[in-house]
Structure 1
Amino acid sequence: MPPADTPSDQPEPTDVPVEPDLPVRRIAERYRLNGLLGRGAMGTVWSAHDEMLGRRVAVKEVRLPPGIPVAEADALRERTLREARAIAVLSHPNVITLYDVVRQDGEPFVVMELLPSLSLAELVREQGPLSTTQAAAIGDAVAAALEAAHRAGVTHRDVKPGNVLVGVDGQIKLTDFGIARSVSDHTLTSTGIMLGTPAFISPEVASGDPATPSADLWGLGATLFAALEARPPYDADGDPLDTVTEVVHGEVPQVDAEHPLHPVIAGLMTKETGSRMSLAEVRRLLHPLLPEPGERLFEVNPKDLQPESAELLEQPRTPTPGSGVLPALLASDPGPLPFMTSAGEPRRRSRTGKVLLAALAFVLFTGASGGGFALARVLGGKPVLPTTAPARTTEQQLLSPVLELGPRTERASSTPNDSGGEFTVNVPKDWTTFRELRVGSPAVSAAVRFVSADGRQELVIERFANYYPQFRLSNFLSNLPRNAVSTQGTYNETPTRPGTKAPDSPEAPVELLYRVADPGPFTTVPKPTDSGAEGNLVRRSTYLLLLPKVRDLWVVQVTVPTESEDTGQKELFGPMAASFIPAG
């Protein structure tokens, strides 16, 4: 969905006609686009007219990130359609209704109810904190919407003021269950990247646990906090890493203890997921605070809801998949995480090492061309997109065709004031570069990721600044299995091969190989007796070189399909590790 500071599913009171000198754009020979309602990094929302039923609708156009490999783009389109159909089971007066999902020129379009409205975020920004009665009405409506979603097996995953709509007629609706934003689930390798909103994400999701309905309870509490205080519970404009750290490790903010909504917010915003207040209890406590029937609570001016000019109807096509460098994808308020269907409480996992040695599963990445930073959530060992196992073929065919290596000089810096971290390594010329920053256990790390055009291979250079003397290689190695694979996958590690300790190094370097086999997120774990069980697993092999240097720990990591493991070692890991030169 578009960012919260632009209209998001909020329609205009009347359609704006297409300018006569512009071609009329129809989707599926039925939906005529009339005006632009909002635009985000991954999607555009239009006001449209359903010519078959004669009604106004909102049409969301999904846009693929430039540089996404062709196979993953196809899988992404299919997932968008599957998730949209799944969420169509929701029918509730406090939920924006999904009408239709269609394809146009191979791309998915989502057709939704069109509601003249402002988001709660916009309303608070324009009018200030809500009264007790207003906040109670918001809380009751969102709780009712979440009750319906959870009964249908759907977890929203991004409850926040930007996704709560307040209509000109007083209707309150929860929107944006992540249909368009599933395009941000671009899986580069075994690690998926997913955009999120750190100021409203629950501590367990920020720590890398899967989102469950309990995460929506935290989001509801955080939304009510923001409605009453006219600010998010955590800093939304400061350093995202500081925000994420505070969400997981800091004290939970609360409204004044004397406020009537304090028990509700305190009951929802507790870090123990099993102790959060139920939605039924939330509604019971809010009921005495609700307004009388027919009482007008909100002033939403229809003049504030006009869409942008229709001259924006013709948009440039998405760049060809597999080309170019990915730009930064996050606006100031990036919008929703994808929804997911409930499958029971997942197995609890340790908070000490969730995602590539990061308990806080967030990274900052930029394109190699040097755009702005973007906040993203990394799901360790769990591809966000379903990944198809490669067909059985030769090892050489499984590697990217262009393997001509050339030197690149980059910097893995953990803070803006970090003057160290420069390194040189030989990389295939057509590989895309990302810069990342991870915070968590055992230490903050910075990484530069190089990804092949087809997404099958990657090189990661990771630096843990000032790792020594507080930590040892044993800290890294003990967390590696649970960081590398999901709870449903398997992990196998070959014996480590220590090298020779350098005079300026606290420990000897270590080289190892590990293999993981993971089911895709839409695949159940195959039993050993299942026919075709081998084909249901995504198998990857990763070579690691752990290189202590003075106070820092450097990690050189190459991941390839297991089928091309030997060739990957000879043509990628061996030459890359040998060419790696850290500065200093």
Structure 2
Amino acid sequence: MPEASPPVPERLIAGRYRLRTLVGQGSMGTVWEAYDEYLHRPVAVKEVRLPPGVPQAEADELRERTLREARAIAVLAHPNVITLHDVAREDGEPFVVMEYMRARSLADLIKSHGPLATAQAAAIADAVAAALQAAHQAGITHRDVKPGNVLVGEDGRVKLTDFGIARNVSERTMTRTGIMLGSPAFIAPEVATGDDVTPAADLWGLGATLFAAVEGRAPYDPDGEALATISAVVHGDIPQPESTGPLREVITALMVKDPNRRIDLAEMRRRIFPLLPEPDRPLFTTEEFHAPLPDEPEHDETDLIDPVSDAEAPAAPPTPPLAPDPGPLPFRTAPHRTTGRRRRTALARTFVVLTAIVLFVIATAAGFAATRTLGGKELLPPAAETGTNLLPGNTAPIREAELQLQPADASTLKGSRGGGFMVTAPKDWAKFVEQRENKSLLSSVRVHFVSPDGKNVLAVERFPMFFPGRTVRQYIDALRAGAGGQDFRTIEPRELPPRSATGEERPTQLDYRTAERGASSKDDQQAFARRTTFSQIIPLDADLWVISLTVPIEAENSGRDLFTKIAPMFMITG
């Protein structure tokens, strides 16, 4: 699949849309201020970029689906919705044409001056609720309602943007069959667990957005570890607003874990109607609207999170949530860096922006993109050192749990074929799905099953279209390089019977330990071995599959026993 061409201004798209000014760029596209030469009006144009490594057949399917679904969403016309005008083709690639509007996001306004006044928050919530009512009546569920997707114009207009185009373009996931790249601080519990998404998910998102407007902060930490945040959303107590104002009851009625118990949009609007400002009163003064963003410390996209030592770590609760620190997973996409600075772009400093467009890009690049996964880091950070050598053969047991044969999907694109599989996994291990952009290999999709304490990870990873251009040896070399050379110690490599003919490649059992060195010299072979991974590398037709179980070194024996139960039952269903 050819790579996207570099941004070129003054291009004429579909004989109609003249690209003028580059507004922003993200991993999934480039956004332009443009001019419609047919209707003589300014528009915003999103140049869609396909995810790297997508096979040609899936890329073609994705292009067609982008056109179909975008045009379906275009039927949604409402004064509180950023309008999708068109999806055009140029050189076979889709370009999304949207309404041009100068505005600020609610997220920026909250950053500028903290909690909003009751009338301001009520007006914004009412407008978003009206937009969602129109969407739901048209059969559209937004699924990513958050302050970053709420746009406020200086004239007081409020619009909701990003009705699924970015998700339909990439369908890249962090959990499940269903949550998109977006902030886990605002997703509904049923979305986080991968259950069927209904319009009720938008009610939770609206409640969380209203929470942020009233409190001046998100209900969950938007900068925390994604898995820890998701675990808190699913298993933790629902955050309660500290404010005792009239919107508190509305927020708590929307942020209810049971989707069927959330108040509906009509009831929500009825409750806040008395709180709305006078029609002729501006929502924000000029000074408020143009208030600068507070200075924020600059940091690199690959910040290193210092591990917490056992002595500093708090005692675990009786039933701990998913730990944010279960130790390194066996494959790294980029080396850790201890320092670095991120250049803030001019766009980040701009206070009045092209709303629909910029947020369209941010919706795909922000949120989870700010987490370790898209920053080139592991899904979970390294574990803390215990300060003693952990020798192989220790027998700390893995907590027993009922094993259950579970279906899952490692497709690059939702709805595409070839990624289905069945795996036997402990029944109470949480499932998360991650799309990985590996620099040394093709992109892959990895499905994680994580134990409740976060210490053990069962993973199934699929590299589509890996063969015939690559070899199993290249995968192992990349794995070894990512683990740090001498800190990657193979235990028992051996070939396995083939599952399907794939040239000369054969399945391989690869068990290894990962270690992290202490203060000794580089040549000192004494290292802190911390994690053991049992894996099978399986070539199947054009794809490479890897099933693995990673456990703490002290649980190596019980981990081996568990893997011998899991691996033989692994089935690829396509």
TM-score range, shorter chain: 0.5 to 0.7
Q: Distance in 2 between matches of 1:48 and 1:296?
A: 29
Aligned match for 1:259, one of 242, 245, 249: 245
Shift of 1:406: 2.3
Aligned match for 2:57, one of 52, 68, 71: 71
Equivalent pair of 1:99/1:112 in contact (CA under 8 Å) = yes
Q: Distance in 2 between matches of 1:253 and 1:127?
A: 22
Provide runs of 4+ in structure 1 moved above 6 Å. Answer: 190-193, 351-354, 373-379, 419-423, 425-431, 444-452, 467-470
Matched, 1:212 2:279: no
Deviation string, structure 1 residues 416-464 (Cα, Å, up to 9, x no partner): 9xx9997768899999xxxxxxxxxxxx999989898x99634123215
Residue in 2 that maps onto 1:135: 121
Residue in 1 that maps onto 2:369: 331
Residue in 1 that maps onto 2:164: 178
Q: Which runs of 5+ in 1 are unaligned?
A: 1-21, 309-326, 335-350, 380-397, 432-443, 471-501, 512-543, 547-556, 562-584
Residue in 2 that maps onto 1:362: 432
Q: Distance in 2 between matches of 1:56 and 1:84?
A: 20
Equivalent pair of 1:31/1:48 in contact (CA under 8 Å) = yes
Equivalent pair of 1:196/1:375 in contact (CA under 8 Å) = no
Q: Using a 3 Å threshold, how does the CA distance of structure 1 residues 249 and 186 change in structure 2: closer, same or farther? A: closer
What is the 5 A alignment of 1:477-516? 506=561, 509-510=564-565
Residue in 1 that maps onto 2:344: none
Deviation string, structure 1 residues 523-579 (Cα, Å, up to 9, x no partner): xxxxxxxxxxxxxxxxxxxxx436xxxxxxxxxx57364xxxxxxxxxxxxxxxxxx
SS at match of 1:259: coil
Q: Using a 3 Å threshold, how does the CA distance of structure 1 residues 273 and 370 change in structure 2: closer, same or farther? A: farther
Aligned match for 1:222, one of 208, 212, 216: 208
Residue in 2 that maps onto 1:202: 188
Equivalent pair of 1:448/1:460 in contact (CA under 8 Å) = yes
Determine what percentage of the aligned residue pairs are the same residue: 50
Deviation string, structure 1 residues 336-376 (Cα, Å, up to 9, x no partner): xxxxxxxxxxxxxxx997866576443456444489x9999
What is the 5 A alignment of 1:38-187? 38-185=24-171
Shift of 1:133: 0.8
Matched, 1:462 2:548: yes
Aligned residues: 396
Q: Distance in 1 between matches of 2:473 and 2:545?
A: 13
Q: Distance in 2 between matches of 1:39 and 1:401?
A: 33
Residue in 1 that maps onto 2:289: 300
Q: Distance in 2 between matches of 1:211 and 1:67?
A: 28
Length-normalised TM-score, structure 2: 0.59
Residue in 1 that maps onto 2:418: none
Q: Distance in 2 between matches of 1:123 and 1:449?
A: 50
Higher alpha-carbon deviation: 241-250 or 400-409: 400-409
Letter paired with 1:52: Y
SS at match of 2:191: helix
Deviation string, structure 1 residues 399-423 (Cα, Å, up to 9, x no partner): 95458542615769xx99xx99977
Matched, 1:26 2:12: yes
Q: Distance in 2 between matches of 1:114 and 1:191?
A: 32
Q: Distance in 2 between matches of 1:469 and 1:25?
A: 60
Letter paired with 1:362: F
Q: Distance in 2 between matches of 1:45 and 1:77?
A: 18
Q: Using a 3 Å threshold, how does the CA distance of structure 1 residues 180 and 191 change in structure 2: closer, same or farther? A: closer
Length-normalised TM-score, structure 1: 0.58
Residue in 1 that maps onto 2:255: 269
Q: Using a 3 Å threshold, how does the CA distance of structure 1 residues 304 and 455 change in structure 2: closer, same or farther? A: farther
Q: Distance in 2 between matches of 1:79 and 1:62?
A: 13
Q: Using a 3 Å threshold, how does the CA distance of structure 1 residues 399 and 231 change in structure 2: closer, same or farther? A: closer
Q: Using a 3 Å threshold, how does the CA distance of structure 1 residues 305 and 458 change in structure 2: closer, same or farther? A: same
Equivalent pair of 1:147/1:279 in contact (CA under 8 Å) = yes
Letter paired with 2:230: V
Aligned match for 1:290, one of 276, 280, 290: 276
Deviation string, structure 1 residues 273-304 (Cα, Å, up to 9, x no partner): 10001000100001000000011122434973
SS at match of 1:331: helix
Q: Which runs of 5+ in 2 are unaligned?
A: 1-7, 292-349, 356-364, 373-403, 409-422, 450-464, 496-501, 507-530
Q: Distance in 1 between matches of 2:153 and 2:129?
A: 17
Matched, 1:545 2:568: yes
Q: Distance in 1 between matches of 2:208 and 2:555?
A: 39
Residue in 2 that maps onto 1:559: 572
Equivalent pair of 1:80/1:180 in contact (CA under 8 Å) = no
Equivalent pair of 2:74/2:83 in contact (CA under 8 Å) = yes
Shift of 1:509: 2.8
Letter paired with 2:564: P
Equivalent pair of 1:229/1:255 in contact (CA under 8 Å) = yes
Equivalent pair of 1:60/1:180 in contact (CA under 8 Å) = no
Q: Using a 3 Å threshold, how does the CA distance of structure 1 residues 140 and 180 change in structure 2: closer, same or farther? A: same
Deviation string, structure 1 residues 115-143 (Cα, Å, up to 9, x no partner): 11011111111222111111101110011
Deviation string, structure 1 residues 169-223 (Cα, Å, up to 9, x no partner): 11000000121332222599x9789423211111111011021101000000000
Q: Distance in 2 between matches of 1:161 and 1:329?
A: 11
Q: Using a 3 Å threshold, how does the CA distance of structure 1 residues 509 and 375 change in structure 2: closer, same or farther? A: closer
Let me know the Cα RMSD of the aligned residues. Answer: 4.6
Letter paired with 2:568: L
SS at match of 2:209: helix
SS at match of 2:19: strand
Q: Distance in 2 between matches of 1:97 and 1:140?
A: 18
Letter paired with 1:459: W
Equivalent pair of 2:19/2:35 in contact (CA under 8 Å) = yes
Shift of 1:377: 8.9
Q: Distance in 2 between matches of 1:154 and 1:141?
A: 17
